[in-house]
Structure 1
Amino acid sequence: MEDDDPNPNASASKTLDPVLQKKHQEMLERLSARHQARKSDSPGSSSSLESTSSFLSRFADSKQSIESRIAGSRLASSSSADPSKVKSDLAEISFAIADLEKLLAENSYFLPSYEVRSSLKSISELKQNLESLSGELVPKKKFSFKNKSTSRKPEPKQPETQKSDAVLPPKISIRDSPGFRNKHGVNLVKTFRGSSIGEFTLADLDSCEVRLLGTVNALFLHRLRNCKVYTGPVIGSILIDDVEDCVFVLASHQIRIHHAKKSDFYLRVRSRPIIEDSNGVRFAPYCLEYEGIEEDLKAATLAEETGNWANVDDFRWLRAVQSPNWCILPEDEWISRVSVSDFTKEEA
């Protein structure tokens, strides 16, 4: 019966301060108007239905192509194909899935919620299929030349990778991603300018401050406690899992947050941020500064402030009223603009 609440705004006010609720409602109204204007101005798209149909057709074609390539790789592997060719095929399929995820992120602002969820589910299934296939083909050779070690020291690392693969894209299971891991109480800085790094991982960090300058294609954050993370624009997606008591300043086309507790997110994002199984999370606008950030934002097509930081989707809260798991961070609690230009020490 809660879905039929005749006055959802009144119910929402029970979870948000009235002033903040008013600001939130005004923000959502501005977003709605902007989205309507975008749909009207989009060439060749006279209605959201036409835009949705066009997206679904393109999405279905790409999905079918990826499924065929996964099936083809499985068939080729059974006929003793060149291992290096198999590995290359897996990497190409992984990039195709990443492109499909980016396509969804770039178009999700006009898609109905049902279509977004359905598309995310399809992408998740593709990742699982690729993860299963890569698990069949890659680890056999990967472990074969490590058996010479009687101590078998590499083994403790494998369960951690398998656990993270349930959340992270399958690319992580195909090749190691550069990143900062297993650090406590240190400052960590990385500059991506002039680097060939396509994706970066932060994992198992406690009481650390992380500053990432420049652009990267994808960013994965896993098991962070009491950390501060400041990043330049991410061209594709940011996936976050299992974080608590942290502050994040992030810019990306798509941001998904799993199992987050008591953390603040300062975001610039093209599509609506997604939270799942999270509580006590608060949101505010992006506030990072460093020399060249405006050029980086333009290069990542994130120069425009969309206001989507305040338009959060809680996939575990399907009622019409405001989710109690997240809120807008009161302005008097916002951190000041963070400048990282003078912080240049880099720790590996």
Structure 2
Amino acid sequence: MDVMADVSHENTLAADSGAARVQERMQKRNQARIESVERRREAKESQSVAEENYEFFSSTFNREREGIEELLSGCSGADRATAAQNLEEATVRTAQLQKFLSDSTLFLKQYDLRKAQAALQTLQTSLTETREEALPKKKFAFRARTKGADRACAPAADTPPPSAVSPAEPGSTQTDGASEQCGFSNLSEQLLIKTSEEVQKRDVLLTHLTNCKVRLFGSPSTLHLKHIQGCEILCGPVSSSVFVDRCTDSTLAVPCQQLRTHNTTDTRVYLHVTSRAIIEDCRGVSFAPFSWSYPTLEEDFAVSGLDQTRNNWSQVDDFNWLAAGTPSPNWTVIPEEERRTSWDP
């Protein structure tokens, strides 16, 4: 009887153990099923979010692109003032569209990113071609310089009103002639000065200057710099845009509404800008707040119409850097201890 009781007890234990193992396997399978369902749910939600992000990007990008194309189409057959206004708005909106694309690269697939970049490039080409067709540029010509000083800039003949000015191409050596023009060209190792009376509301062009110090007092309409090497250029408040192209190892100080910089290396910019600075094909460019001062600076700010309380000097868009969330390696902020405070010749 004892033997039979022991056998019965062992059978009971074995049965209990088998049942426990079965129950454990069932629990594991059930847990695995729950985890699988949860993973599928998370994957579905993630896919849904990605699709929603792309749908938002695609609809916003295409809607803005079509709006810019409509502005460009409106330039055909329009008067010069209307064409200039459309082109100015199209230029600003195209820059904003580029920024929107740059900020969206994290969730865009490579195919979608390349497609959007190609569309943007086509739009930029169309903008350039429309500007050249609607607002053909007049060639810039310098007046002869006297031995002791430059003559004051003379009014250009048959110039349209300021409202008809078109936004110039970055680094262009031509202007649209919407205001009086002046500047310096093909000089080296000189101190070059323009007074407020000479530059006020005029387009200023500085080109092919080497190791020069330039002081522009007053409020120009636009400022164009091209082929600048080893120079120090200080300018009063520019009421619209500053365009820089092929500037090397130089120091610039200027307040403006917009800054466009191309093909520039190892250059320091002391900036007051009310929109955002834009660089393209640049490296070694550094920025700090505008710090030059002269007796009539406040008056010139008033003439320019710039907002002195709004300075986006450190907000720089690099059109060659699309990695959102990662700083561009092509520009930096000048450390406070290294910033210029004295600008005397």
TM-score by length of 1: 0.57
Please give the alpha-carbon distance, in whole angstroms, between the structure 2 residues aligned to 1:122 and 1:170. Answer: 23
Number of aligned positions between the proteins: 240
Confirm or deny: 8 A CA contact 2:71 2:86 kept in the other structure.
Answer: no
Q: Is 1:113 aligned to 2:85, yes or no?
A: no
Among 294, 297, 319, the residue aligned to 2:298? 294
Q: 1:193 to 1:127 in 2, by over 3 A?
A: farther
Tell me, yes or no, if structure 1 residue 327 matches structure 2 residue 332. Answer: yes
CA-CA distance at 1:94 after TM superposition? 6.5
- Find out whether 1:224 has 2:224 as its counterpart: no
* Counterpart code for 1:128: E
Which stretches in structure 1 are left out of the alignment for 5+ residues?
1-48, 74-88, 140-164, 344-348
The superposition leaves residues 57-110 of structure 1 with CA deviations (integer Å, 9 ceiling, x where unpaired) of 9x98797466334x327xxxxxxxxxxxxxxx55x46643564378669x96x9
Give the Å deviation of 1:166.
6.3
Instruction: Summarize the alignment of residues 48-63 of structure 1 with structure 2, pairs less than 5 Å apart.
Output: none
Give the 3 Å change call, closer, same or farther, for CA 198–314 of structure 1 in structure 2: same
Cα distance in 1 for partners of 2:264, 2:301 equals 26
The yes-or-no answer on 1:126 pairing with 2:132 is no
Contact 1:289–1:337 at 8 Å: present in 2 too? Answer: no
Out of 61, 66, 73, the position equivalent to 1:67 is 73
3-state SS in 2 of match to 1:172: coil
Aligned CA distance change for structure 1 residues 310 and 206 (closer, same or farther; 3 Å): same
* Distance in 1 (alpha carbons) for counterparts of 2:102 and 2:322: 15
Cα distance in 1 between the residues matched to 2:72 and 2:212: 39
Measure, in 1, the Cα distance between the counterparts of 2:258 and 2:223: 11
2:188 corresponds to: 184
Aligned to 2:289: 285
In the superposition, the TM-score normalised over structure 2's length comes to 0.57
How many Å apart are 1:183 and its aligned residue?
1.1
Segments of structure 2 that go 5 or more residues without pairing to the other structure are: 1-55, 104-116, 140-167
CA contact (8 A) 1:274 1:314 kept: yes
Q: Distance in 2 between matches of 1:227 and 1:194?
A: 21
Choose 1 or 2 for highest CA Rg: 2
Aligned sequence identity (%) = 26
* Rounded Cα–Cα distance in structure 2 between residues aligned with 1:323 and 1:268: 20
Q: Counterparts of 1:123-202 in structure 2 under 5 Å?
A: 125-132=126-133, 167-168=170-171, 172=175, 177-193=181-197, 197-202=201-206
Once residues 188 and 84 of structure 2 are traced to their aligned partners in structure 1, the CA distance between those partners, rounded to angstroms, is 32
In the alignment, the residues of structure 2 paired with residue 125 and residue 101 of structure 1 have an alpha-carbon distance, to the nearest angstrom, of 11
* 1:268–1:302 Cα contact (<8 Å) kept: no
| Cα drift, residue 112 of structure 1 | 5.9
Shift, 1:231, TM fit: 0.6
Aligned-pair Cα RMSD in Å:
4.0
For 1:214 and 1:313, how far apart are their aligned partners in 2? 28
Check the 8 A contact 1:131/1:170 in 2, yes or no. no
